[in-house]
């Protein structure tokens, strides 16, 4: 019979049809994206109860596939053990509460990474960490990866997975990026080449918008900290959130250019959103959102040299 992960990997291969090819600089992995057909189109897409879709059951999976199964499929290559998170964790954290405003201690980067001079990618709001683990496994000697996440339980589990995979080029930190990003990256010995902010918490209510992670001070720190030609990758399945992030980064046009030709196969639509994810793998939130029929709004910027 084989393991369910092997079955998922086979199913993924069979489902793969959309090819994204390597890009010139930091986006360097061929992407294979499972094609699914959605049977239920919700009106509100973010953080809604799971819905179901009809998948193409090539092998191993049959009938209707749920979102967690698709996530497992997306990351089948990692073959991660299913550590329990314990009691249900909060879906949204208030990053402005006093206990989260204390800066995270800077680690000894030489203890954290095997080679702390490698180019660094930072993922802000790394969630479960699977996305970054996948990239780190793909590029074990050419880049370091740092995930900043405000929900501690996710960080603890991600670090267990790092040990499980025996990776020496990735580290997860329990940190409020709004508070700790600048100090963390400014002490890193190597160049900061890529920062991603992927499907950040939307905090829909007007009075909670100041909890959104992308605020001017963080944007300024990101742009200041990147090396020349370093890049920023943003995306959201919530148009309003994507637009707000875009406005923040567009406002830095003296230092950043919008990249609309990251790869010949990945185009920008008429509104300036990238047609597909250039990283080689989708994030978990992206998998959930696409399953529900959402459009993902993506943009890449590059620091002027
Ligand atoms: C909707 S999830 C998206 C996770 C992942 N990027 C993805 O696309 O699947 C947003 C994540 O950002 C984290 N987060 C929110 N505010 C944060 C902050 N100020 N600093 C670090 N992480 C934060 C949340 O805990 C959550 O895990």
Q: What is the pLDDT along the chain (305 residues), one digit of tens a residue?
A: 344 444 444 444 433 322 222 333 455 444 444 444 433 333 333 433 333 333 334 444 445 678 889 999 999 999 999 887 766 677 789 999 999 999 999 999 999 999 999 999 999 999 999 999 999 999 999 999 999 999 999 999 999 999 999 999 999 999 999 999 999 999 999 999 999 999 999 999 999 999 999 999 999 999 999 999 999 999 999 999 999 999 999 999 999 999 998 888 899 999 999 999 999 999 999 999 999 999 999 999 999 99
Q: Which residues contact 105 (CB under 8 A, 6 or more apart)?
A: none
Token pair of 255 as six digits: 């230092």
Q: Which residue, chain included where needed, has tokens 């339980």?
A: 153
pLDDT of residue 159: 97
CB count in 10 Å sphere of residue 10: 16
Chain mean position to CA 86: 23
Is 178 strand, coil or helix?
helix
Beta-carbon contacts of 130 under 8 Å, excluding residues fewer than 6 positions away, are 71, 74, 75, 78, 80, 161, 284
Cα–Cα distance list, 172 to 9, 122, 153, 299 (Å): 26, 10, 11, 24
pLDDT at 2: 44
Q: Which of 77, 82, 123, 201 is catalytic?
A: 201
Pocket-testing residue among 201, 221, 287, ligand 1, by greatest number of atoms within 8 A of Cβ: 201
Task: Give the pLDDT score at 300.
Answer: 98
Q: How many residues does the chain have?
A: 305
Name the one residue in this structure whose structure tokens are 């405000």: 150
Q: Verify whether residue 201 is a known catalytic residue.
A: yes
Residues 47 and 238 sit within 8 Å (Cβ to Cβ):
no
Residue 148 CB–ligand 1 contact under 6 Å: yes
55 lines ligand 1 (CB under 6 A): no
Exposure class string for 264-297: b at 16+ Cβ within 10 A, else e? eebebeeeebbebbbbbbbbbbbbbbbbbebebb
Q: How far apart are CA 114 and CA 100, in angstroms?
A: 29
Q: Is the CB of 128 under 6 A from ligand 1?
A: no
């Amino acid at each position: 019979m084989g393991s369910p992960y092997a079955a998922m990997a086979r199913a993924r291969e069979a489902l793969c049809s959309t090819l994204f090819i390597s890009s010139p600089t930091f986006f360097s992995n061929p992407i294979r994206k499972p094609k699914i057909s959605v049977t239920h189109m919700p009106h509100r897409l973010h953080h809604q109860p799971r819905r179901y879709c009809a998948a193409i059951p090539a092998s191993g999976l049959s009938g209707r596939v749920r979102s967690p199964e698709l996530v497992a499929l997306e990351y089948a290559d990692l073959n991660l053990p299913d550590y329990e998170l314990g009691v249900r964790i909060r879906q949204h954290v208030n990053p402005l509460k006093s206990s989260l405003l204390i800066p995270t201690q800077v680690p000894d980067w030489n203890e954290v990474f095997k080679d702390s001079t490698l180019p660094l990618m930072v993922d802000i709001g790394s969630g479960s960490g699977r996305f970054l683990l996948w990239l780190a496994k793909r590029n074990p000697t050419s880049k370091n990866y740092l995930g900043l996440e405000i929900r501690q339980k996710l960080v603890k589990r991600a670090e267990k997975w790092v040990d499980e995979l025996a990776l020496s080029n990735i580290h997860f930190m329990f940190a409020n990026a709004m508070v700790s990003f600048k100090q963390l990256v400014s002490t890193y010995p190597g160049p900061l080449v890529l920062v991603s902010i992927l499907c950040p918490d939307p905090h829909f209510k007007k009075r909670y918008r100041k909890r959104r992670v992308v605020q001017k001070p963080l944007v300024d720190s990101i742009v200041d900290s990147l090396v020349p030609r370093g890049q920023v990758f943003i995306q959201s399945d919530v148009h309003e959130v994507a637009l707000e992030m875009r406005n923040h980064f567009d406002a830095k046009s003296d230092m950043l250019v919008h990249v609309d030709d990251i790869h010949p196969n990945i185009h920008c639509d008429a509104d300036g959103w990238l047609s597909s994810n250039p990283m080689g793998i989708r994030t978990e939130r992206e998998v959930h959102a696409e399953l529900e029929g959402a459009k993902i709004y993506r943009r890449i910027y590059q620091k002027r040299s």
